[in-house]
Structure 1
Amino acid sequence: MASLAKTLMIKALTLIIVLIGVLLLLAFIMGATGLSDKMLKSILTVEVQEYKQQLIRQGRDPVAVEKAIEEYMKERAAALGINRSWYERLPQLIYRLLVLDLGTSRTLQSSWGSNKISDIILDRLPNTIILTTTGIIFTALIGIWLGLYIGSNIGSRADRVISVLSAISYALPLWFVGLVLILTLAYGPRILWGVQIFPPGGMVSTPPPEEPLAYFLDVLWHLSLPLIASFIVFFGSWAYGIRNIVFSVSQEDFVNFARAKGLPENLVRRRYILRPSLPPILTSLILSLANSIGVG
C-alpha cells in the first residue's frame, strides 16, 4: 500500500507540474504571437455563426454584419481575456485550474445538463474508473495465469506459441483493435443478420434495466468489447513478464534443492515457485492500477 500511495502522489504532482507547464507555454505563445482575426474567429466559430444568423434575421446588410462581427469578436476577446499579455493571463489560468474552472462546452453536456468542462469530466470519471480497473484486472488475471503456466514449462510448445502471440499483441495499437472489434462484432452481426451481439458503445442500455441484477449484467455486456480489446493488446506483456519472473525463481537453489529431495513437481511449483513469485506480481498489478490514473 505504501508503494501505491507513493505512486499516486508522484502521479498527482506530475500532473500538476505538467498542467502548469502547458498553461505557461500556451500563455507565452499566445502573448508573444498574439491572436489573428482568423484564429479568434476559429475559437469563437459557433458564437460567431449564431450572432451572424441573428444579424441577418434582423435585416442587416452584409457590410454592417461584418463590422458587427468584428466588434463582437473584440468584445468577446476582452471578456475572455485572450487579448492580454501572457504574464497577465497566467495567474488567472492557474487560479481557474486550481478551482476546477475549466470553461464550458457548447457541444457536450453532463448527465445532469451542465455544460461545464469540470462537470462533464466528473460525469465521465466513474465510467472511466470502472473501465480501466476492470480491464486491468481482467487482463492481468488471465495474463498472470498464462505466465505462470509457460514459466513452469519453458521451451514447451505452449511457451513458444504464447510468446509469439505476446509479441504480436504487444505491437497492436489499442485503438485499431477496438475499431476492428466494433466493426466485426458490434456492427457486422447487426447489419448481416439483424442480431446485436455486442453493443458498439455506451455504458448501459437506454432505458436502463430496473432490476439490480439485470442492470449489473447489462453493464457487463457493455464492458465486454472493451475488455476483449484490452485483453488482446495487453495480455502479452503480462504473460511474458510473469513468465520471466517465474523462470527466474525456478532457477534458485532452494527450488533445485526441493526437487532434489524428491518432492512432487506440483508441490514444488505451488510452494517453492509460486509463493516467492507473488510479491513482484502483486506489485506489478498495484502499480498498473495506479498507472491507469495517468493513462486511463
Structure 2
Amino acid sequence: MTADAASAAASAPAGAPGGPARGPRARTGASYLRYGAGKVGGAAVSLLAVLLTSFFLFRLIPGDPVKYMTGGRQVSAEQLAAYRREFGLDLPLWEQFTDYCRKALTGDLGTSYQFRAPVIDKITEALPNTLLLTGTAFVLYTALGILLGTRSAWRHGGLGDRLNTGLALTLYSIPSFWLGLLLIIVFSVGMGPVPGLFPTGGMESGGEEGFAYVVDVAHHLVLPVVTLVAVDYGQTLLVTRSALLDEMGSDYLTTARAKGLRDDLVRRRHAVPNALLPTVTLVFINLGRTVAGVILVETVFSWPGLGGLFYQALSVPDLPLVQGLFFVFAAAVIIMNTLADLIYPLLDPRVGR
C-alpha cells in the first residue's frame, strides 16, 4: 500500500470502505447507550402517565374535603365557598388539572388540606421513618431469602427444602395486616402464658434520649419488621431457588467438579453468582417499595411513615397529599426498575444486544 493510500484509509470514516473497522467494544458501547436511552425514555413516559393518572384517579373517591376541614361544624354557604376558593376547588376541573401539572413539574405538589402545609414537607418529614422500617426489613428478608433459597436448591427434594419452600409459600400467602394483628395479640397484648413483650404501636414511647431512645425505637421496630420479613422473604427464596435449579445442570458446574473443587466452593463461586441474575431485578423492585412503605403494616402498627400518612390522607380525602404520595410511591418503583434494567446488561452482556 502506498503512502497516499494509507493516508486515505486512515482518514476515511469508521465503517466506510477503506476505513478502519469499528471494534466490538465500540459496537457494544453504542448498543448499551441505545438500550439505556430506551429504558430511561420509557421511565420518563411512565412517570408522566402516573402524574396525569393520579389527578383524575383520586377525584373518584367519595367525600367532600371542604366539609372535613370544617370539623363537622355548622358553617354558612359563604364560608364553604371561601374554603373552596382558598384551595382552588371552585375552578373548573381542566383548570385544576393544568395548575396541578404546572406546579408538579416544578416540584410543587400542592398544599395539604388537613395539615395546611406543603405536601413535600409532610413527605420529607415521614420518609425517614418509612425508610427505617422498610429498609431494615428489606435487608433482612433479602439476605434470608437468598441464603435459604440457595440452600434449598442445592439440596432440592430433601426435608429441609420441603420445609423451607412450604413455610415460605404459607407465609407469603398470609395478608400482612392479618399477621400484624396476630403478632400484636400474642406478643403485645399477651395471650395465655405469653406476656405482652412489645408495644402495640407507634415508633417511640416518648421522653427518651440518647442511647435509651435508640433502644426504645428498636423495641417498637421489632413486630412490624418481623411482619414484613415473614411475608416478603418467601418471594426472594422462591426466585433464588428456581434460578439456581436452572443453573445446576450446566456444563461449567460439571467441569468445576471434575477439577476437584469442593461442592461448597462450586456453589459459592460458580453457581450462585450466575443464578442471582434474576434476583437482581426482584431486589431492585423491592428496593423501590422501601420508599413506598407498606400501607397496611404501617397502619396496623401506627407507624408514622408514608404508608400511614397515605391512609390518613385517603380518609379525608386530602387530594394534594394523596396525589403527591401516590406519585412518590410510583416514581420510586419506576426508578428502581429502570436502574435494574440498566445494571442487568453489565451483569449479563447478552441483555440489551
User: Taking structure 2 as the reference length, what is the TM-score of the superposition?
Assistant: 0.62
**1:88 is the counterpart of 2:86:** no
Secondary structure in 1 matching 2:76? helix
The partner residue of 2:136 within 118, 125, 134 is 134
- Offset of residue 115 of structure 1: 4.5
> How far has the Cα of 1:188 moved from its partner?
2.3
| Cα distance in 2 for residues equivalent to 1:74 and 1:269 | 69
1:64 aligns to what? none
User: Aligned runs of 1:75-154 on 2, under 5 Å?
Assistant: 75-97=82-104, 98-106=106-114, 115-154=117-156
Asked whether the 8 Å contact 1:198–1:221 carries over to 2, the reply is yes
Residue of structure 1 aligned with 2:46, choices 14, 24, 35: 14
The change in CA–CA distance for 1:221 and 1:79 in structure 2 (over 3 A counts) is closer
Q: Partner of 2:70: helix, strand, or coil?
A: helix
Structure number with the bigger relative contact order (C-alpha 8 A, sep ≥ 6) is 2
1:285 is the counterpart of 2:283:
yes
Q: CA distance change for structure 1 residues 102 and 200 in 2, over 3 Å: closer, same or farther?
A: farther
**Which residue matches 2:244?**
246
Query: Which ranges in structure 2 are unaligned for 5 or more consecutive residues?
Result: 1-32, 295-353
Give RMSD over aligned pairs.
3.6
Unaligned runs of 5+ in 1: 31-37, 53-67, 109-113
More displaced stretch, 132-141 vs 175-184: 175-184
Q: Is the 8 A contact 2:100 2:109 kept in 1?
A: no
CA drift of 1:270 comes to: 2.7
Give the deviation of 1:205 after TM superposition.
3.1
> Alpha carbons of 1:26 and 1:242: their partners in 2 closer, same or farther (altered >3 Å)?
closer
Output the CA distance in 2 between the equivalents of 1:14 and 1:292: 19
- Distance in 1 between residues matched to 2:71 and 2:225, nearest whole Å: 42
- Call closer, same or farther: CA 1:162–1:188 in 2, change over 3 Å: same
Query: Is this contact kept in 2: 1:48–1:69, CA < 8 A?
Result: no
1:291–1:79 distance in 2 versus 1, CA, 3 Å: closer
- SS of residue paired to 1:229: helix
Bigger mean CA deviation after superposition, 278-287 or 240-249: 278-287
**Corresponding residue of 2:162:** 160
* C-alpha distance after superposition, 1:10-45 (max 9, x if no partner): 667634431322325667x89xxxxxxx965x6324
1:197 corresponds to which letter in structure 2? L
**What SS does structure 1 have at the residue aligned with 2:108?**
coil
The verdict on how the C-alpha distance between 1:16 and 1:185 changes in structure 2, with shifts beyond 3 A counting, is: farther
Read off the aligned partner of 2:240 and give its amino acid letter.
I
Indicate the residue corresponding to 1:201 in structure 2.
201
- Residues 80-137 of structure 1: CA deviation (Å, up to 9, x unaligned): 332332222222222343443432343x6xxxxx744432221111111122221111
Give the corresponding residue for 1:44.
67
Is the Cα contact below 8 Å between 1:7 and 1:287 reproduced in 2?
A: no
**Contact (CA 8 Å) 1:198, 1:225: kept in 2 or not?**
yes
Secondary structure, counterpart of 1:183 in structure 2? helix
Which residue identity is paired with 1:22? S
Please say if residues 7 and 290 of structure 1, whose CA atoms lie closer than 8 Å, have aligned partners that are also in contact.
Answer: no
2:229 to 227, 231, 254: 231
Query: Which residue type is aligned with residue 219 of structure 2?
Result: W
For the 8 Å contact 1:143–1:235, the answer to whether it is kept is yes
Moved more, 142-151 or 280-289: 280-289
Q: Distance in 2 between matches of 1:87 and 1:273?
A: 56
Q: Flag the 1:46–1:198 CA change in 2: closer, same or farther, 3 A.
A: same
Q: 1:25 to 1:172 in 2, by over 3 A?
A: closer
Aligned residue in 2 for 1:178? 180
Q: Structure 1 pair 251/49, CA: closer, same or farther in 2 (3 Å)?
A: same
Q: What displacement does 1:225 show?
A: 1.0
**2:169/2:234 contact within 8 Å kept:** yes
**1:168–1:241 distance in 2 versus 1, CA, 3 Å:** same
What is the distance in 1 between the residues matched to 2:72 and 2:169?
51
The one-letter code sitting in structure 2 at the alignment partner of 1:208 is: E
Identify if the C-alpha distance between structure 1 residues 286 and 70 changes in structure 2 by more than 3 Å, giving closer, same or farther.
closer
User: Which residue of the partner structure matches residue 27 of structure 2?
Assistant: none
The number of residues matched between the two structures is 260
- Contact 2:131–2:293 (Cα < 8 Å) also in 1: no
CA distance 1:221–1:12, change in 2 (3 Å): farther
Q: Does structure 1 conserve the Cα–Cα contact (< 8 Å) formed by 2:236 and 2:279?
A: no
Q: Return closer, same or farther for 1:8/1:206 CA change in 2, 3 Å cut-off.
A: farther
In 2, the alpha carbon distance for the partners of 1:194 and 1:158 equals 29
CA distance in 1 between counterparts of 2:196 and 2:39 reads 41
Shift of 1:206: 0.8
